[in-house]
Amino acid sequence: MKTYLHWYTDSWLSRNQKPSLTFGGNMFAFKTFCRCLFYILLCAWVGNVSAEKYRICVVDGKEEYKHSAKYCPRLDQQDSQVECVVASDRLDCLRRIHKGKADFGVFTAEDLVAATNSEIDVLLTNELRFSSDQNFEYELVAIVANAANIRQKHDLRGKKYCHPGYGYEADWTRILSNYFEASVVTPQCHPNLTITENRVKATSNFFGAACKAGPWVNIPGLDYELKDKYPNLCSLCGDTRRCSIQDKYWGRRGSLFCLTDGSGDISWARLDDVNPHFGFTSGNQGINPNDYSLLCPDNTVMPLNSSTPCVWVVKPWSVIAARRAKAQKIQDIISSLINSDSASWQAHLLNLIEPIYYNVEKLDPPTSIEAYLHRAKGFLNANSFSACHPPRTIRICTTSNIETAKCSWLRESAAVYGIEPDLDCLKADNKTHCMMALSDNAADILMVSPDLVQQAKRDFKLSTLFYETVPDANKYTTVAVTKKGSKFKSIKDLQGAKACFPVYGGIAWNSAVHALQKRRLIGCNINAEMANFFGPSCVPGITENESENLWKQCQSDFEGDMGALHCLASGIGDVAFVSSNSIDQFRNAEDIDYPHFSEESVDFKILCEESNENNQPCHLSWAPLGQAMIRSSSSDMWKKDTLNVFIQLDGLFGKKYKDLTNQFSMFGRYDGAADVLFHDETEKLRNIPIMKNTDEMKLPYDKILTDINVCYSSASWSTGTLILTIISLIVTILVSK
């Protein structure tokens, strides 16, 4: 290096410098200075290379598992080799690693299946174990009572089955929970039954009795209906009617107690629960293990205390996955973390990696996902059991590349957690084309905003399957907004005012129509009477010639809530009908470049009634932020299947997710973008528009639409009835003469 540096400086000087211009003609001194300068620059460059930081992708969990704020600042210090990148969920971390925006992170076995299906290229460097001597997170076995004379799978028909139950899917996915039944029970695919009921019916027909406690589906009414229809699957439970998560035989050890209490003949259980239950690891439990055996997948049986017990399926440990090019270096760093000083960056990194694990085991060499999962008996097979033929699929219609991308990850997440029917994602140009696709049976379900609900119902014969429900503060509440100091005190004062609407036929338009009709200020000839009531206004999208007055004030940027508020702020309009949430968004917008914009121009007030008697609300309507629309002609069976799928997805990936960290965030920013597919503020999906049964907020939009449609219908009916009445009267008079 030194020889090269001397040659480089001498060569450069011979080409570019004259001795008379350097250090008083002293070429030796100048060469020495240049060499020192080059050494300094080279050392700085080498230092930067050696100080390269590797980026760990961190996902904050619930409550005490929010670790980024606690541990990441220490990693930002200069002596650390690692820095944090905080992501919204584990699949977000996978995408960041794939795109080169992060270098490594912690992932579960289910995440790895999703990564494989999405062609994410990573290498696995380390396993995170509870115990260093356990090769898998858990192993699942079938335990039979010897008195039941079960020697092979064929002997299981008509026997009594003890199942751990449902309700803790973060630890025990439905794929693994149902693995035994999927292996021994012939599936059924009755076209008039939901997929869930087909599975329940097949199990009910195969076993004589069972205890399968907990929610079979996530819709309470439907869950009760299924348990009432197939009571033998609850007949071994402590409470045969409720069959709930409070049952004495619910849970991991519950299935074993069901067996050893003498209620059942066979139990599906985790091997690490079997050993203490039968006294192999924690003292005698008063149960004779010689009365029970392991039923093996190869149609044999073996003693419970076998040194190599036969298992049906295993769950691999969580792992550290890294970018292929950096996997070896990251493995070296991770493997060196043990016994680090508690104040060091290494200890803080270890706390980020293993909040609930105790051993970091090296995978030598770093391993591909496929090779790692193939070591886990039955795990990949569990994710590929055949479903009904022809397969049932719920086709979600999307309208942008980012919506389609999020939908695709939602599909993968649903698949690895055993949610059926499968999802598919179909892209259209816009919401109208999606509604056409649903109407033509080319797609099945579409998320729409309140503005599109009337069009969906009226023009495409769609209906609502479920709603995105939010607390009152986040509901879509339509209000009439004026400037402070205006002469308007109540709705009736708006006659002759210049009105600004987001869009024709949307929630703001219909809510204003309803408010005026309720006060008998207009009738049922809506467009003409709205044009007569208001002065020159802007209603984007209206085309009727008789309503020319309603688009006179429109400009190119007056569409949507922001456009309507711009119309008001600029002084062109006197009143804007918009969502209350949009007011603060408009005030806080960083890119406002409107003519006549000033702080005074956004000094708005919401119009209430003058006296506000009887605590009347200031809003004109309220609606959920969004709702899922389907064909009105969809069968009840299809509706049950589809609603159950999305309620399950909400339970797994919504705001109340059950895992320590979320695999996939249904509600929240996606790749930095807001309100993709679902709204960020959504708290829960429900088949009714209210958040709680105690919700008594007045003026729901669905009711307003019904009232307006009745007005339309009654107007048409009244005209026809009047003509028929006159004709009938004339005929009656003529006949009487």
Q: Which residues are annotated as a binding site for Fe(3+)?
A: 138, 476
| 501/575 Cα distance (integer angstroms) | 9
The two three-digit tokens of residue 370, written as one number: 């496929």
The tokens 């995978």 sit on which residue? 363
For 696-722, b/e burial (b = at least 16 CB within 10 A) is eeebbbbebbeebeebeeeeeeeeeee
Feature table: binding site: 138, 170, 476
* The amino acid at 406: K
Point out the annotated binding site for hydrogencarbonate: 170
Cis amide linkage into residue 365, ω under 30° from 0? yes
C-beta neighbour count of 236 within 10 angstroms: 27
Token pair belonging to 428: 């259209």
* CB atoms closer than 10 angstroms to residue 48: 9
Radius of gyration of the chain (CA): 34
Cα within 13 Å of Cα(19), Cβ side: 6
Residue 164: partners with Cβ closer than 8 Å, 6 or more residues away: 172, 177, 250, 251, 252, 254, 255, 268, 269
Give kind and range of the element (H or E) at residue 677.
none
* Contact call for residues 322 and 82 (beta carbons, < 8 A): no
Closest CA to 199 of 219, 173, 226, 176: 226
The secondary structure of residue 297, as a DSSP letter, is T
Q: Cα separation of 528 and 524, whole Å? A: 9
Contact 652, 413 (CB under 8 A): yes
Residue 378 near residue 318 (C-beta atoms within 8 A): no
Give the span between the Cα atoms of 240 and 325, in whole angstroms.
57
Among 439, 440, 443, which residue's Cα sits nearest to residue 403? 443
DSSP 293: E
